[in-house]
A = this chain, B = another copy of it.
Amino acid sequence: MPKGFTAAGTAAGIKKNGKKDLGLIYCEKPATVAGVFTRNRVTAACVALDRKRLAESGVCQAIIVNSGNANCCTGDAGMADALAMANAAASALGIDTQHVMVASTGVIGQRLPVQKVEKAVPELAASLASDRFSDFAESIMTTDTIPKIVTRRGEIDGAAYTVTGIAKGAGMIRPDMATMLCFVCTDIGIGREDLQSIVAETNEKSFNCITIDGDTSTNDTLLVLASGMSDAYIKTAGHKAAFGKLMEEVLVTLAKMIVKDGEGATKLVEISVVNAPSDEDAKKIADTVANSNLVKTAFFGEDANWGRIVAAMGRSGVDFAYDRVDICFNEVRLVENGLYAGPDAEKAASEVLKLPEFTIVLDMKSGGGEAVVWTCDFSLDYVRINADYRS
């Protein structure tokens, strides 16, 4: 684990089912912090609080997170609850409450049972340990079926550093962030502005390239803490690029874990658009295909229904020459210059669809633009999970 960090997770009684629902990350000293948040117009109290603290201080020593309740659309009382949660953590840890950040995930519009949080925090803080990141990862889960932790190690001028990321996702996920929480700890030394620019850039290439159901949450938060407690310190543009690459690897790995564990998902599908008029056009096409219910139900049915892919491309708002388009399922070219390649290709494409992971390549042959979006299939279980979520 990155030097300086400990974590913990416990069941505070917020979730009705008795599962872990309160987590804490702590750094021995105030860490440099950077973050990005949901673009949804309606945001939870914790998002407003973290945005303010990020702008004001630029350092963070602890993050306290609850699942089971989003503390969103709860008005002034909700903001008081978020502050109380931060105060409880600061008080138990003996640190400045301005250096505590807060995150929540769960049902919208109900008051957070903040007394339960306050009651659980002292013991939670006492249990902090460098080997309890998995408890933390469990404590932030909602409809996730597996905890999501990724650790990667890098080196700068011979000095080693570590990056550990923990995320949760599952539903309400789409480009422009998601019901997604992600916390990254690293012991690299880095300035605040460098860290923020790397976080913004790598977020675009990871969490903003995934979709489960096209919905976007009010609580999405990505926070990155750098303790500077290793001997690795970013001094040059080359160092920054190398760290950015490692960070991208961590975030892309977590993002794909989120899609793979999407509500009801049985398949992880990469939509890759190449040779589009522009990168922007490529992204629009990839997004529209990746979010089409008809495309996603066809994936679930293992049906190589390329007509639905074409129909989604056509409504993406991008002007393109359809009679140049090739569509490949992994290596199988099912559509060539806009026309069906025949039953042999379809049979081979159907085999690809049986795989748990595959790529759809949309070759536009109209320029140099490209984009990748990761999506999943749309199953009966997605509907079952979401029709019953609150009951």
Contacts and interface: CB of A to CB of B under 8 A. Distances in A.
> How many A residues touch the partner, as a band?
35 or more
A328 interface: no
A370 to B, nearest CB: 19
Nearest to A377: B387
Interface in A296-323: 297-298, 300-301, 303, 305-308, 310-316, 318-320, 322-323
Contacts of A150: none
Between A294, A311, A338, A388, the greatest number of chain B beta carbons within 10 A of the residue's beta carbon is seen for A311
A383 B108 CA distance: 26
A304 to B, nearest CB: 9
Interface in A250-294: 291-294
A380 B389 contact: no
Given A172-B311, A218-B310, A297 B340 contact: no
Contacts of A380: 380, 383-384
Contact of A340 (B110, B292, B389): B110
Contacts of A96: none
Interface of A: 39-43, 70, 72-75, 107-110, 171-172, 176, 213-218, 291-294, 297-298, 300-301, 303, 305-308, 310-316, 318-320, 322-323, 335, 338-340, 378-380, 382-384, 386-391
Given A73-B338, A108-B306, A303-B391, 16 more contacts: A42-B313, A72-B310, A73-B307, A73-B339, A109-B310, A109-B335, A172-B311, A213-B294, A215-B308, A215-B311, A216-B314, A216-B315, A218-B311, A297-B386, A298-B387, A380-B380
